[in-house]
Amino acid sequence: MNPLLRRQISKYLDPSLAESEELKKFLSAVNGSYETNQDQFNMLQRAMKISSDELYTANRKLQAEFQQQQDILDSISGAIKAMNLDEFDIENGQFQIGDLGSHIKLQSEKLKIAAIKQEELLKNLEKKNKVLTDYAHMVSHDLKSPLRNINALISWIQEDFGHKIDDTARKNFSMILNNLEKMDNLINGILKYSTIEQAETNENEIDLNLLIHEIIEFLEVPDRIKINIDKDFPVIQGDKFRIQQLFQNLIQNAIQSIDHKNGFIEINVSDSGTMWQFEVKDNGRGIPERYQQKIFNIFEKIENNQSATGIGLSIVKKVIEHYDGSIDLKSEEGVGTSFYFTLPK
């Protein structure tokens, strides 16, 4: 039996319920789900890491090939600039204009070969991305099914044995339900992360004033937190799903960081030439310096934030990079955090 589950049972379970056959079946089902969920979740993490490494390697190869092609074009451009109407002087005699034509033809053939290889590499990347997306959907379905079963079993026990369960047991059931919800959020986060780049792109005008207010209404901000929104938010061109994920994750992250009264969140924008610069600022618990360079990596989260999944900020970074923007932060423990990011006009 899972060590955590065994410890909780021995510590809190009413001895009078220990011989209940219904409860034994339930505990067996919970233990099986612990093991199944952990195995499948580990498989998903390994698959995503492998795919991420492959995409990184492929991207480096594409960059190297692009640089090679650029060097070839620069070489051709230099040759043309040096050309006169008759001939070129080179080390081993006379370089005729006809020789330049042959050289250009040879380089053109090399460019064609490089373009074909690049196209094949992109097709392979598309196939791997599709496999990863399909796998993420499949595993998420397999993970969510036992979560729903556990939730139903707990509800039945509470209905059938509610008069026999003491306050400690009710508290433990509440802890189980909270962990079920956390696991469900983690699965949803993995799905969003794995499909954010594969999602269909619908580039339209987006009124950020309307979008941010819609997000805040959806998140149901606690009364103890006040949100101040700049009145000068622009209308930008982009995909609404991606931009919504960007702002929603940052605002939700700010809300979760505030665990005291008189909390505030500020959302500002300023003109930065060809880019819009945005700021999401809060007076929450702050981010320790040792985490500030890691929190944009998937599954990285701050130790004292148990409600986080370690996926939200990685989605934020992926969306911003999709639009060739940048993101940075300033934070001080006990004071708050400001996230700064840019999007092109």
Of 140, 163, 195, which residue is a domain's last?
A: 195
Pair 76, 107: CB distance under 8 Å = yes
Looking at residue 250, its pLDDT comes to 93
Assess whether 189 and 290 both reside in one domain. Answer: no
Residue 20 DSSP symbol: -
Assess whether 97 and 207 both reside in one domain. Answer: no
Q: Which of 80-89, 130-139, 181-190, 201-210 is predicted least confidently? A: 80-89
**Spatial separation of the C-alpha atoms in residues 111 and 213, rounded to whole Å:** 50
For residue 35, what pLDDT band results from cuts at 50, 70 and 90? low
For the stretch 200-233, pLDDT in tens is 566 789 999 999 998 888 887 889 999 999 888 9
> Higher model confidence: residue 218 or residue 144?
218
Assess whether 211 and 185 both reside in one domain. Answer: no
Pair 284, 295: CB distance under 8 Å = no
**Spatial separation of the C-alpha atoms in residues 338 and 220, rounded to whole Å:** 21
Pairing of strands 263-272, 275-282: antiparallel
274 pLDDT more than 70: yes
Assess whether 157 and 210 both reside in one domain. Answer: no
Looking at residue 195, its pLDDT comes to 59
> Higher model confidence: residue 129 or residue 237?
237
To the nearest 5 percent, what fractions of the chain are helix, strand and coil?
A: 60, 15, 20
237 pLDDT more than 70: yes
> Higher model confidence: residue 217 or residue 138?
217
324 pLDDT more than 70: yes
Q: Domain total for the chain?
A: 2
| Mean pLDDT for the stretch of residues 319-335 | 90
Looking at residue 277, its pLDDT comes to 95
DSSP secondary structure letters along 126-178: HHHHHHHHHHHHHHHHHHHHHHHHHHHHHHHHHHHHTTT--HHHHHHHHHHHH
Of 168, 195, 222, which residue is a domain's last?
A: 195
Assess whether 16 and 131 both reside in one domain. Answer: yes
Assess whether 172 and 103 both reside in one domain. Answer: yes
Looking at residue 227, its pLDDT comes to 93
Assess whether 47 and 23 both reside in one domain. Answer: yes
**Spatial separation of the C-alpha atoms in residues 208 and 217, rounded to whole Å:** 14
For residue 167, what pLDDT band results from cuts at 50, 70 and 90? confident
CB neighbours of 52 closer than 8 A, spacing ≥ 6? Answer: 298
CATH number of the CATH domain containing 340: 3.30.565.10
For residue 18, what pLDDT band results from cuts at 50, 70 and 90? low
259 pLDDT more than 80: yes
Assess whether 283 and 314 both reside in one domain. Answer: yes
pTM for the predicted model, two decimal places: 0.51
CB neighbours of 335 closer than 8 A, spacing ≥ 6? Answer: 283, 286
Nearest CA among 111, 5, 18 for reference residue 65? 111
Looking at residue 200, its pLDDT comes to 54
Assess whether 129 and 222 both reside in one domain. Answer: no
Assess whether 178 and 232 both reside in one domain. Answer: no
Looking at residue 84, its pLDDT comes to 46
For residue 58, what pLDDT band results from cuts at 50, 70 and 90? confident
> Higher model confidence: residue 44 or residue 212?
212
Assess whether 315 and 182 both reside in one domain. Answer: no
CB neighbours of 159 closer than 8 A, spacing ≥ 6? Answer: none
**Average pLDDT for the chain:** 76
Assess whether 207 and 184 both reside in one domain. Answer: no
Nearest CA among 241, 243, 239, 242 for reference residue 209? 243
Range of the domain at 171: 3-195
Looking at residue 144, its pLDDT comes to 67
123 - beta bridge partners? none
Of 131, 164, 195, which residue is a domain's last?
A: 195
